[in-house]
Structure 1
Amino acid sequence: MDVLLKRFAGRFALTFSLVVLEAAGWILFPLVIGRAIDSVLSDSARGLYELAGLGIMTIVIAIVRRLVDSRAYARIYIRLGEEMVARDEESDTSTRTARLGMLREIVEFFENSLPSLINAVLGLAGTILILSALNFPVFVACLVVACATVTLYSLTGKLTTRYNEGLNDQYERQVDAVHSGDPRRLREHLRAMMRWNIRLSDLEAANFGINWVFMICLLVFAVGAAAEQTLEYGVVFAVVMYVFQFVESMMGIPFYYQEWLRLREISGRLAGATP
């Protein structure tokens, strides 16, 4: 994946720049909505104009980014796919077919998941920064919860990688299992794949449940702390919205982390097949 970033650095720089601009717009929404509420309560329309302007700017950037991304990543996939098949002549058809599908997963990660991940990370950083100015106790609580989430997923990272390795081993045997015409062999292959899938799903469910307990505790604390520390409705609204944004990021980022672990394992398999 590092080689991919270096080789197509120019295209990634353009798409990532658009992602950052889009993320900045989304980060500002709760703050601008809060300002609009206080503005309306003060018989002024200025806050509404600011909100409308931010909304138009953000959606235009989002549309342009998606138009650029689809074309850039299509060209990357075509070039890498052709090169991989040509260089990996020693492997059998089953392995090359599976690896071509794995390559597609990596490209799709950069096209679809990575922009969402960048949005989540930047949103998380921006949210924490703004909360430090709006409500310090809530800011501290967010830091504590963030540390708890990072610790949880760090402890299970090696197990996730091992399960993905087992799943990918089976995936590389899929074409041969189908081509064999042996119903018993195919059944055993499918059962083996599903066993690895179930293990991954169970681990993900356990992590999700524990992480959600952290988030519920944070939400309960944040609502109480926001209501106690200020009488401005717009500020209270902004604090609560930013906490919701924080929770959304902290629930989403671990899934991207798990996806990254899977793609890192895939990259090791493709290292000898792509330049």
Structure 2
Amino acid sequence: MIYPFVVRHRWRLAAAYALAIGGCIAGQLYPLATAVAINGVLRKDYLAIGWLVACHGLALVLEVSAKMLDTRVFTRLYADMASNFVQRAHADGIEPSTIAARSALSREYITFLERDIPALMFAIIGLVISLSALFWLDTAIGAACLVLIFPLVLINRWLARRSLRLNRGLNDRLEREIEVLRRGRASAVQRHFRALSGWRVRLSDSEAKAFGAMEITVVLLFVVALARLAQGDTSRAGDIYATFSYVWRYVTSLDQVPLLVQQLSKLKDLNKRLGTSV
């Protein structure tokens, strides 16, 4: 459903994503710039601070520009998509209550493009830059981070399958919401919102379980990293800071995966619903 509108707005989207990616890359280089600055100051080379200032300034300019452009791009895209969907749904003879419910659900596409696509790109950039920096700073820690990916793949495969089933149930309920509210029977309304609560709780619990399982492996990674740093050369304080910062950024990037898996499962079910009527 979303593809024709993405094509129509492709240049605006490309500009928004380019600014966001540029800001992300500049931000990911911040620990290295800080390490250079710290090591430089310890050597009485104060010009090294310039790298830190330049990196921070570039990230700031790009991130502010991206935030200002985002709202303009994605609100126009949603207006275009939603109006087109409503017109075609009316032409197909779909019930107004279903049109209203699906129109609201279609906002998930924009959320995906505006929030989740950048989050995915940031996670990939963060993983690549963090791993590259860690292999450069300390090969053993970089290898430990790489090994961590395998259990996380298994955890998120489980989450994807469960989320798809739960989102299907949740969206079934949401499609019936306007009709339930229109009839206004107190018992039916109460059952409806209790059911919605139940589906959302199960989705949240699934994400929490996946996150908890991931964090167990992350704790092991931090233990390995700290043990490794304790054996290294402590005279280069900047390198120690950069190493631990990139381990943290690597973990933070991985933490985005369950959220993205949930959203992709939601959109997969939503696409089946809207694809039949648009």
Interval of TM-score (by shorter of Structure 1 and Structure 2): over 0.9
1:175 equivalent among 173, 178, 188: 178
1:189 equivalent among 188, 192, 198: 192
Q: CA deviation at 1:181?
A: 1.4
Structure 2 distance, partners of 1:21, 1:155, is 33
* Residue 116 in structure 1 maps to residue 97 in structure 2: no
Contact 2:5-2:81 within 8 A present in 1 as well: no
Deviations 1:68-93 (A, max 9, x none): 11101111111111110000112222
Q: Partner of 1:164 in structure 2?
A: 167
* Residue 257 in structure 1 maps to residue 261 in structure 2: yes
Q: Partner of 1:78 in structure 2?
A: 79
Partner AA of 1:71 in structure 2: R
Partner AA of 1:69 in structure 2: D
Q: CA deviation at 1:226?
A: 2.2
Q: CA deviation at 1:5?
A: 3.4
Contact 2:38-2:238 within 8 A present in 1 as well: yes
Cα distance change of structure 1 residues 267 and 4 upon mapping to structure 2, 3 Å threshold? farther
2:128 equivalent among 107, 125, 128: 125
Contact 2:167-2:269 within 8 A present in 1 as well: yes
Q: CA deviation at 1:34?
A: 0.8
Partner AA of 1:81 in structure 2: A
Q: CA deviation at 1:55?
A: 0.7
Q: CA deviation at 1:156?
A: 2.8
SS in 2 for 1:229: coil
SS in 2 for 1:156: helix
1:238 equivalent among 242, 257, 260: 242
Structure 1 distance, partners of 2:168, 2:205, is 16
Partner AA of 1:254 in structure 2: P
Partner AA of 2:49 in structure 1: L
Partner AA of 1:130 in structure 2: A
Structure 2 distance, partners of 1:99, 1:46, is 58
Structure 1 residue runs without a partner (length 5+):
none
Structure 2 distance, partners of 1:149, 1:101, is 33
Q: Partner of 1:136 in structure 2?
A: 139
Q: Partner of 2:218 in structure 1?
A: 215
Structure 2 distance, partners of 1:273, 1:7, is 20
Structure 2 distance, partners of 1:256, 1:131, is 25
* Residue 45 in structure 1 maps to residue 49 in structure 2: no
Structure 2 residue runs without a partner (length 5+):
none
Deviations 1:204-255 (A, max 9, x none): 1111111111111111111221231333211111100000001111112221
2:273 equivalent among 258, 269, 273: 269
Partner AA of 1:142 in structure 2: C
Cα distance change of structure 1 residues 82 and 207 upon mapping to structure 2, 3 Å threshold? same
Deviations 1:168-219 (A, max 9, x none): 0000000110110111111121122112112111111111111111111111
Structure 2 distance, partners of 1:272, 1:60, is 43
> For the aligned residues, what is the CA RMSD?
1.4
Partner AA of 2:203 in structure 1: L
Q: CA deviation at 1:125?
A: 1.0
Structure 1 distance, partners of 2:63, 2:125, is 15
> Aligned pair count?
274
Contact 1:227-1:236 within 8 A present in 2 as well: no
